[in-house]
Amino acid sequence: MADTNSETTYTLLTEKQAAIKAKCPRCRRGDLFKNKMYSFKQTMYDRCPHCNLKFEREPGYFYVSMFVSYALNVAEMVAVCVAIYVLTGSENPMTYIVVFLMATIILSPFNFRYSRVILLYWLTPGLKFSAEKAKDLPLDAQ
Ligand SMILES: [Zn+2]
């Protein structure tokens, strides 16, 4: 006879899906951010709404995400400059500067969000997915 207690009422995301959707790295169910990526202001939850993981692991923890954001920005700059060269063949430096500054401004919410996601998912030792934490909460804990 099948064990009915092991049935899940939710879809468990893979690590990549959870990172793209900016979910908690431990339970992959709670959101990291209160707002959508292109809302006026992006604010993070202090703790995971599902498993209560404290996202800011230590004081100043998210300063490290500035380095991740910098790396993302450099990669985007190279991609944008190569795209401009391939598409237009322009040799005017102002074209590159203007387009790159516009791309930086447009992509800054993306960089802000995913630098923190990359930091939490792949650059934090000891923070792993826990199938136990992903389970539905008991009714008295909700
Ligand atoms: Zn969680």
CA of 69 to the centre of ligand 1 (A): 23
**Which pLDDT band, with edges at 50, 70 and 90, does 49 fall under?**
very high
User: Residue 3 has what pLDDT?
Assistant: 46
Tell me what percent of the residues of the chain surpass a pLDDT of 70.
91
Residue boundaries of the structural domains of the chain: 21-136
CA of 2 to the centre of ligand 1 (A): 29
- Please give the single-letter amino acid code of residue 123: L
User: Residue 41 has what pLDDT?
Assistant: 86
For residue 82, give both structure tokens.
């190569």
Of 40, 26, 30, 63, which Cα lies nearest the Cα of 142?
30
Lowest model confidence (mean pLDDT) among 18-27, 68-77, 92-101, 130-139: 130-139
CA of 114 to the centre of ligand 1 (A): 17
10-48 tens-digit pLDDT: 788 899 999 999 999 999 999 999 998 888 888 999 999
CA of 97 to the centre of ligand 1 (A): 41
CA of 14 to the centre of ligand 1 (A): 14
User: Residue 114 has what pLDDT?
Assistant: 95
CA of 27 to the centre of ligand 1 (A): 4
CA of 63 to the centre of ligand 1 (A): 21
User: Residue 55 has what pLDDT?
Assistant: 94
**Which pLDDT band, with edges at 50, 70 and 90, does 95 fall under?**
very high
CA of 19 to the centre of ligand 1 (A): 12
> Average pLDDT, stretch 49-56?
93
Supply the pTM of this predicted model: 0.83
**Which pLDDT band, with edges at 50, 70 and 90, does 6 fall under?**
low
CA of 83 to the centre of ligand 1 (A): 38
Lowest model confidence (mean pLDDT) among 2-6, 12-16, 63-67, 98-102: 2-6
The answer to whether the beta carbons of residues 13 and 21 sit under 8 Å apart is yes
What b/e string do you get for 33-43 counting C-beta neighbours within 10 Å, with b at 16 or more? beeeeeeeebe
> Average pLDDT, stretch 92-111?
93
CA of 50 to the centre of ligand 1 (A): 5
